[in-house]
């Protein structure tokens, strides 16, 4: 590729597309699970695609990684043990490890190649991989959660691709039952839950499956994410009974810098737009 | 166009693109000012492009129109006279007229063809055009503001295209001086201010020009907008001294429905992410 070129992801489900101007294809690997491509872009740093879907750019990944971690960690009273299912780019792991109270953070992604690519093309996301509290596994996240010691985990973060292909099994009752069992009574499950504008049906279906698995309270937090379809994304928290008041004072006094997350942003995201609240039965 | 096709806007400034799957080109007109195209899409209703840039889709325009109007109108103590510069699709006008206290709303767009196209392809946006409080002009907004009676307007809303082509003159000191003169002492200027992720320089430059024109306090509110580059957009409010505390109780008791805007969403948008606050010198 000589001159800059436009690289698009056509998101069939929603009939919308996202694209970046790229000037170089840096790598491509077909792992046993998926095709991973890396491009250099003119304005967004490096871009990782998995099976043609934009996963991470250097420039905007902080939005997603901060929102997948800090709201859950500042909602739980004292999170010590965190499990990340997926998250092979290690960006969520890095954010989790910013919390000094975390004693152990396990990252279990099925595809080692995602992490190898991240180490090479997104080294800043991997800067905490050597933290003694981090355990990085390349294994089936569904099996990992099924075999987890009951009541041993404070927070499970499901940082997965879309619910097709390898990630399909991360969106159903059986998987959520494993998460429910692994979590302590005050534990929190948080999962990336796609676009609140065009994928409300998916968020509803996910909550229904979580409910069948025993979770009783839910909270969906929207946030901007330019490299994902519609540029507007969400995570959904689930819990066994407790509400989602967060540790406001601790969030304000957090001992680390963030680019997007703040206590006020967290609080703001808790107020759903009426059309979302209505669709989720909270209106 | 027989089979569905992908229609993209490549946003050169940011090196990112937005696209929709369309199945029909419904119309195209070259006005004296710009080329206006209308497509039917598979998932987003109709789509209007001006000079190749996505302007409005049936599905997501409520985000922009609600945020261009309600935050300013619920910040001003008692807005009676509102001027909209641009806004030819009439969606902002419709939102402004939902406020019972508004006695007069002037919409001044240079291009009559935008409104003619909106009447035909986005009739819901034009449903308040016959309101006796509405005055719809097709004229040069720069001249309109320059000739406005001093101290006669409560709110000026600049609902323009990007600062190139016909809208270029809506982003500089001379135009803002006209707005400043036309506004009463407690008046509010609000302008669409592009993407807070990739166009922070533009927001800074706009605030600087507003400052040269006499405005002293500013507030930038981010919101999601899938059909604009990066899917994350903003409006910027400017004032002559007063702050931006809004009429919280009135916003909660508003006598009309909204899909996105609420008092809590408004309050949430007032908390800028740290990277935006820092770039704007508010960090």
User: How far apart are the CA of A257 and the nearest CA of chain B, in angstroms?
Assistant: 9
Contact call for A260 and B268, based on CB within 8 A: no
* Any B CB within 8 A of A264 CB: yes
pLDDT at A167: 76
ipTM score assigned to the predicted complex = 0.95
Contact call for A20 and B17, based on CB within 8 A: yes
What string of H, E and C letters represents the secondary structure of chain A?
Answer: CCCCEEEEEEECCCCEEEEEEEEEEEEEEECCCCEEEEEEECCCCEEEEECCEEEEECCCHHHHHHHHHHHHHCCCCCCCEEEEEECCCCHHHHHHCCCCCCCEEEEEECCHHHHHHHHHHCHHHHCCCCCCCEEEEECCHHHHHHHCCCCCEEEEEEECCCCCHHHHHHCCHHHHHHHHHHEEEEEEEEEECCCCCCCHHHHHHHHHHHHHCCCCEEEEEEEECCCCHHHEEEEEEEECCCCCCCCHHHHHCCCCCCCCCCHHHHHHHCCCCHHHHHHCCCC
Contacts of B274 in chain A (CB under 8 A): 257-260, 262
Question: In the predicted model, is pLDDT for residue B121 greater than 70?
Answer: yes
pLDDT at B2: 52
User: How far apart are the CA of A274 and the nearest CA of chain B, in angstroms?
Assistant: 5
Measured distance CA(B235)–CA(B214) in Å, rounded: 19
Question: In the predicted model, is pLDDT for residue B242 greater than 90?
Answer: no
Q: What is the pLDDT of residues B58-105, one digit of tens each?
A: 999 999 999 999 999 999 999 999 999 999 999 999 999 999 999 999
* Any B CB within 8 A of A231 CB: yes
pLDDT at A2: 52
pLDDT at B4: 79
Contact call for A257 and B269, based on CB within 8 A: no
Residues 6 or more apart in contact with residue B274 via CB below 8 angstroms: A257, A258, A259, A260, A262, B283
Q: What is the mean pLDDT of residues B203-220?
A: 95
Contact call for A275 and B267, based on CB within 8 A: no
Contact call for B268 and A273, based on CB within 8 A: no
pLDDT at B199: 81
Collapsing DSSP to helix, strand or coil, B136 comes out as: strand
A to B CB pairs, distance under 8 Å:
138
pLDDT digits (tens), chain A, 283 positions: 456 899 999 999 999 999 999 999 999 999 999 999 999 999 999 999 999 999 999 999 999 999 999 999 999 999 999 999 999 999 999 999 999 999 999 999 999 999 999 999 999 999 999 999 999 999 999 999 999 999 999 999 999 887 777 778 888 999 999 999 999 999 999 999 999 988 888 899 999 999 999 999 999 999 999 999 999 999 999 999 889 989 999 999 999 999 999 999 999 999 999 999 999 988 6
| Confidence band for B283, pLDDT divided at 50, 70 and 90 | low
pLDDT at A72: 98
Query: pTM here?
Result: 0.96
* Residue among B231, B258, B275 whose CB faces A232 most closely: B231
Token reading at A155: 């927070």
Computed over every residue of chain B, the mean pLDDT equals 95
* Any B CB within 8 A of A273 CB: yes
List the catalytic residue out of A51, A154, A159, A186.
A159
Contacts of B17 in chain A (CB under 8 A): 6, 8, 17-21
pLDDT at B8: 97
* Any B CB within 8 A of A282 CB: no
Catalytic residues of B: 159
Q: What is the mean pLDDT of residues B192-197?
A: 92
* Any A CB within 8 A of B146 CB: no
CA-based nearest residue in chain B for residue A8 = B17
CA-based nearest residue in chain B for residue A223 = B224
Q: What is the pLDDT of residues B93-117, one digit of tens each?
A: 999 999 999 999 999 999 999 999 9
């Amino acid at each position: 590729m000589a001159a800059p070129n436009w690289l698009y992801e056509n998101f069939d489900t929603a009939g919308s597309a996202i694209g970046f101007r790229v000037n170089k294809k840096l790598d491509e690997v077909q792992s046993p699970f998926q095709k991973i491509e890396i491009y250099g872009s003119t304005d967004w740093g490096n871009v990782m695609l998995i099976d043609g879907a934009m996963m991470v750019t250097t420039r905007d990944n902080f939005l997603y990684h901060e929102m997948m971690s800090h709201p859950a960690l500042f909602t739980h009273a004292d999170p010590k043990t965190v499990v990340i299912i997926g998250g092979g780019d290690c960006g969520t792991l890095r954010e989790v490890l910013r919390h000094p109270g975390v004693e152990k953070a396990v990252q279990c992604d099925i595809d080692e190649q995602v992490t190898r690519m991240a180490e090479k093309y997104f080294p800043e996301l991997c800067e905490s991989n050597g933290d003694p509290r981090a355990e990085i596994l390349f294994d089936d996240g569904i099996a990992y959660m099924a075999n987890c010691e009951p009541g041993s985990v404070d927070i499970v973060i499901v940082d997965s691709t879309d619910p097709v292909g390898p990630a399909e099994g991360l969106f159903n009752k059986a998987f959520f039952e494993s998460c429910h069992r692994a979590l302590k009574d005050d534990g929190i499950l948080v999962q990336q839950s796609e676009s609140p504008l065009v994928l409300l049906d998916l968020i509803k279906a996910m909550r229904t499956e979580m409910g069948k698995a025993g979770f009783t309270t839910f909270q969906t937090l929207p946030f901007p994410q330019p490299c994902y379809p519609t540029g507007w994304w969400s995570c959904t928290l689930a819990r066994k009974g407790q509400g989602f008041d967060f540790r406001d004072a601790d969030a304000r006094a957090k001992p680390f810098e963030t680019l997007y997350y703040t206590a006020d942003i967290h609080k703001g995201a808790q107020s759903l737009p009426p059309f979302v609240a209505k669709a989720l039965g909270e209106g």
